[in-house]
Amino acid sequence: MELTELAGIGPVRAETLRAMGVFSLRDLLFSLPVRYEDHSTVFPCNTHREGFVLVEGSVLQEPKISYFHSLKKVTLTIEDETGKMPVCWYNAVWIRDRIHQGETIRLYGRLVIRNNRRTLQNPQIAGTEEGYVPVYRAIKGFPSKSFRKLIRNALELLDDCCPETLPAEFRIRNHLCELNYAVRQAHFPDSLTALQSARRRIEFERILLYLVYVSCAGTEKQPGFPFEIHHEWIDEYWKLLGFKPTEAQQKVLLDIASDLSRNIAMSRLVQGDVGCGKTAVAFGAIWLACHAGYQATMMAPTEILAVQHYENARKTLEPFGIRCRLLTGSTRASERRRILSELKEHQCDAVFGTHALISRDVEYGKLGLAITDEQHRFGVRQRSNLQMKGKTDRMLPHVLVMSATPIPRTLALILYGDLDLSVIDQMPEGRIPVKTRLVPEQKRQDMYAFLRSRIAEGKQAYIVCPLVEDDEEENNELHSAKALFQRLKENEMKGLRLGLTWGSQKPAEKEKVLHDFAEGMFDVLVSTTVIEVGVNNPNATIMIIENAERYGLSQLHQLRGRVGRGRDESWCFLFADPSEKLKLFCSTNDGFVIAQKDLELRGPGDLIGTRQSGEPGSQFLFADIRLLDEVSKCVQQMTRNPSDKPVLDQIRKNAEQFFAENEYTPALN
């Protein structure tokens, strides 16, 4: 059903939704809430229950405005029969015109208790909605209340667009509710139990589709090109690098060399922490492939990462006779024609690039090794497409997959069941751990002074914000990149060279900003999380993360990994209230410890990848590792049981259709 046929969606809103990856009514219905607000209980004003609470009371006085460093602070007090509740907002002067003395209001916000003093911080003015109120991903032009109304309208048409996809017997056996019930309850739950049942059904099926798809996507071992590998080539490679590899790097390259020498196509995942030296291992694999007389290709999710790999390869590999090329979407037409000709005629040995490498007109003369970097940003289909570029006489090139997102081994074996696994679990000598600190709001100016002192020494810094613009989400306490950039430019960092970038910025503009920052043309780069992957600037030694509580631990670790890439002491500052999660993050630089804790706190959520538009509403909704394990065992059991073949065939068909409609491409937001 066309989006414009739904009441409340005109051409402009429809285009906004399409930009977010919502093309149909079904897409809209599966754009599930990112969280829920519990409006089922109104707490008294004398409550000492820390965390998010809903309170109701009479406003005792007109809102007052005061100044806290560069912040405007609005304060008032509400009262009920139990006592008083102090309330404050930061940078929300508009509150003064919305709330007046004597009126009764409902507020939903975080109650903070410090030094035995209670304050309800940055609350939202709550409506009359009760129960569990859904909160959706912010979409510009869709206030929360309007989007909830839109979802209610869409739910009236649910039966027409979301037929049941799983057989009744299968659902009963696995304790799964019906799909339509699940979708309704996932948006507007009647109870916490109903919500848990609904999310479990949806998450179970998404995991099921993924695992069945992976198990059927040509994962059986295929004949491959056996390389004639001489072990002295490996020693020669490590010597030419000019630094001593870790034992883990040496072991993984030996594993790869063993795979390359077999007549079975290699399918190996190499994962390791930020800065462990995966690229050096990948270049070693390219070195072996080219010395054996084959071509190699390396695909990265962003152009800037592809360029960095190419520039490093030119310095490392070209002096020793390996001809390297770069192919991306912005390669000039004449240059592209030349590179395509060289690839086809085997006049170049290694090509680095983005999705341009799997374009229809790209032909390889003798492709023997296909590498994908940042695997969690690609899907099975892209990896397969790259490998098929070199298929000849029913033989396939070897495949090497790189992932910079540390994944606990048990999870990796389930998610990448079609791949052999190697882990680089050591860091190179001389790597200085990044110092990580929580910074309270009252210390903001001190932190800015420290930043200016480091910039005076010639260093650079990142500042990461959760939003692009202030009106992106109805939450006054969140910093936006554009607003903070403007404020810093006019106040705390006046006179410094500031850059600004975000995920939906035009690709050419974004690439230029990132390139200019890497070249030292900016002192400070203000951005969203677009910089978490593929930005390598050893001169950047400070990472500041606003509203750090908004991110998962693994994403915080990726952001922290942008600094500490050189020989200088580096710092990561988190603006957030103390929490168990953030205290753990400050205490360790071990990505695998962090990944394990992230699983315990919120599940493996964003490790798989996203749909084309990259919005969280269309990601897999994996809730916890136990459910992932349960579904994995369910698939294994069906595969072994002949009586389950009809059900498995139906699920396989559903999986193929799902992935055809939701093809994986990089999520650059």
What percentage of residues in the chain have a pLDDT greater than 90?
41
The tens digit of pLDDT for each residue in 201-235 reads: 998 998 888 888 776 655 557 888 999 999 899 99
Mean pLDDT, to the nearest integer, of 240-245?
84
Residue showing tokens 């081994």: 409
Mean pLDDT, to the nearest integer, of 589-611?
61
4 phi, psi to nearest 5 deg: -70, -10
Lowest model confidence (mean pLDDT) among 127-136, 161-170, 230-239, 615-624 = 615-624
Report the range out of 16-20, 135-139, 155-159 with the highest average pLDDT. Answer: 155-159
Provide the 3-class DSSP secondary structure of residue 511.
helix
Q: Could you give the count of Cα atoms lying within 13 Å of 355 in the half-sphere of its Cβ?
A: 14
Q: How confident is the model at residue 526 (pLDDT cuts 50, 70, 90)?
A: very high
Dihedral of CA atoms 479, 483, 485, 486 in degrees, nearest 10, equals: -150
Residues linked to residue 58 through DSSP beta bridges, in sequence order:
79, 104
Angstrom CA distances, 512 to 208, 481, 501, 618, stand at: 41, 17, 10, 29
Distance (Å, rounded) from C-alpha 432 to C-alpha 184?
50
Angle at 128 between CA 124 and CA 131, to 5 degrees: 90
Residue at 533: amino acid letter: V
CB count in 10 Å sphere of residue 146:
13
Give every CB contact of residue 5 below 8 A, 6+ residues apart in sequence.
none
- Classify domain 435-588 by CATH architecture: 3-Layer(aba) Sandwich (3.40)
- Annotate 347-369 with b (16+ C-beta within 10 A) or e (fewer): ebbbbbbbbbbbeeebebeebbb
Angle at 448 between CA 442 and CA 454, to 5 degrees: 145
Residue 665 has pLDDT above 60, yes or no: no
Token pair, residue 500, equals 């600004």
3-state helix, strand, coil in the chain (%, to 5): 45, 20, 35
Q: What is the pLDDT of residue 537?
A: 87
Distance (Å, rounded) from C-alpha 490 to C-alpha 485?
9
Contact between 53 and 121 under an 8 Å Cβ cutoff? The reply is no
Q: What is the CA radius of gyration of the chain?
A: 27
Token pair, residue 72, equals 């405007």
Please provide the CATH number assigned to the domain covering 41-125. 2.40.50.140
The tens digit of pLDDT for each residue in 397-442 reads: 999 988 877 776 656 666 666 678 888 888 887 778 899 999 988 8
CB count in 10 Å sphere of residue 602:
16
Q: What is the pLDDT of residue 604?
A: 47
Q: Where are the alpha helices (DSSP H) in 278-332?
A: 278-291, 303-316
Q: How confident is the model at residue 592 (pLDDT cuts 50, 70, 90)?
A: confident
Q: What is the pLDDT of residue 550?
A: 86
In angstroms, the first-to-last Cα distance of the chain is 27
Dihedral of CA atoms 469, 474, 477, 478 in degrees, nearest 10, equals: -40
Distance (Å, rounded) from C-alpha 113 to C-alpha 196?
30
What percentage of residues in the chain have a pLDDT greater than 70?
88
- According to CATH, the topology of domain 231-424 is Rossmann fold (3.40.50)
Give every CB contact of residue 472 below 8 A, 6+ residues apart in sequence.
138, 140, 480
Q: Is 228 exposed, middle or buried (0-12, 13-18, 19+ CB in 10 A)?
A: exposed
Q: Name all contacts of 406-409 with Cβ < 8 Å and 24+ positions apart.
A: 406/271, 406/272, 406/273, 406/554, 406/557, 406/591, 406/592, 406/594, 406/595, 407/271, 407/595, 407/604, 407/607, 408/592, 408/595, 408/596, 408/599, 408/625
Contact between 392 and 364 under an 8 Å Cβ cutoff? The reply is no
Q: How confident is the model at residue 598 (pLDDT cuts 50, 70, 90)?
A: confident
Distance (Å, rounded) from C-alpha 447 to C-alpha 437?
11
DSSP 8-state code for residue 494 = T
The tens digit of pLDDT for each residue in 482-525 reads: 989 999 999 899 999 999 998 878 878 888 898 899 899 999 99
Q: Where are the alpha helices (DSSP H) in 64-191?
A: 95-98, 144-155, 158-161, 168-173, 179-187
Distance (Å, rounded) from C-alpha 437 to C-alpha 546?
13
Distance (Å, rounded) from C-alpha 519 to C-alpha 651?
51
656 phi, psi to nearest 5 deg: -60, -40
The tens digit of pLDDT for each residue in 449-493 reads: 999 999 999 999 999 998 887 654 444 567 889 989 999 999 899
421 phi, psi to nearest 5 deg: -115, 130
Residue 256 has pLDDT above 90, yes or no: yes
Residue 668 has pLDDT above 50, yes or no: no
Angstrom CA distances, 641 to 216, 636, 645, stand at: 16, 9, 7
The tens digit of pLDDT for each residue in 631-650 reads: 888 888 898 888 999 999 98
Q: What is the pLDDT of residue 307?
A: 87
Q: What is the pLDDT of residue 53?
A: 93
Q: What is the pLDDT of residue 286?
A: 96
Q: How confident is the model at residue 609 (pLDDT cuts 50, 70, 90)?
A: very low
Residue 614 has pLDDT above 60, yes or no: no
Q: How confident is the model at residue 178 (pLDDT cuts 50, 70, 90)?
A: very high
The tens digit of pLDDT for each residue in 65-102 reads: 987 666 788 999 999 999 999 999 988 888 888 999 99
Contact between 21 and 150 under an 8 Å Cβ cutoff? The reply is no
Q: What is the pLDDT of residue 612?
A: 27
Q: What is the pLDDT of residue 615?
A: 31
Residue 287 has pLDDT above 90, yes or no: yes
The residue with greater pLDDT, 572 or 427, is 572
Angstrom CA distances, 10 to 15, 136, 160, 312, 584, stand at: 9, 20, 21, 49, 47
H or E element, residue 87: strand 83-90
* Identical fold between 231-424 and 435-588: yes
DSSP 8-state code for residue 225 = P
Token pair, residue 249, equals 């790097």
The tens digit of pLDDT for each residue in 305-339 reads: 888 899 999 999 999 899 999 999 888 999 999 99
Residue showing tokens 């579904």: 631
Give every CB contact of residue 252 below 8 A, 6+ residues apart in sequence.
270, 281, 422, 423, 424
Mean pLDDT, all residues of the chain: 85
Q: What is the pLDDT of residue 606?
A: 39
467 phi, psi to nearest 5 deg: -120, 160
Domain boundaries, given as residue ranges, for the chain: 3-36+130-192, 41-125, 231-424, 435-588
- Alpha carbon 641 to its chain centroid, in Å, reads 37
